[in-house]
Amino acid sequence: MPLVIVGVMLMLAKFAEIGPTAGWPWWAVLAPFGGATLWWYFADSTGITQRRAMQKMEDRKVERRERAMEALGLDTRREKRVASARNKAQGRADTMTRATPEAPSADPTRRDT
């Protein structure tokens, strides 16, 4: 979109013969439109445009769900805090189990040297 805006501004300056654009060749004035076309082709062929659209729809769905939960009188912020606390507790439990030494073996025939 910025390339289209720059192209329109350059075209208007060329038509009005304002500043140095009056002496520029037309291919230089219209080059931003070519750049925009190449960018749109690249974005569509690599899937960037579709991924952005899908993410936007997903964000809208989450917001709509949160509004519905609040309208029903359910506290969505509490659920987020609980989930966050569980994740933090799980993370601490993982680090604590990794840091503790291995328990001695229950096998009476095994000797630790």
Same domain, 82 and 60: yes
Looking at the whole model, is its pTM more than 0.75?
no
Provide the residue range defining the domain that includes 27: 1-46
Structure confidence by residue, pLDDT tens digits, 2-40: 888 988 988 888 888 888 888 888 898 889 999 999 998
Give residue-wise pLDDT tens across range 35-58: 999 998 988 888 888 888 999 999
Both 54 and 23 in one domain: the answer is: no
Residues 22 and 3 in one domain: yes
Look at residues 42, 39, 41, 31 and name the one whose alpha carbon lies nearest to residue 8.
Answer: 31
Query: Are 33 and 60 part of one and the same domain?
Result: no
- Give the Cα separation of 64 and 20 in Å (integer): 51
Q: Give Cβ neighbours of residue 42 (< 8 Å, ≥ 6 apart).
A: 48
* Residue 84 belongs to some domain of the structure: yes
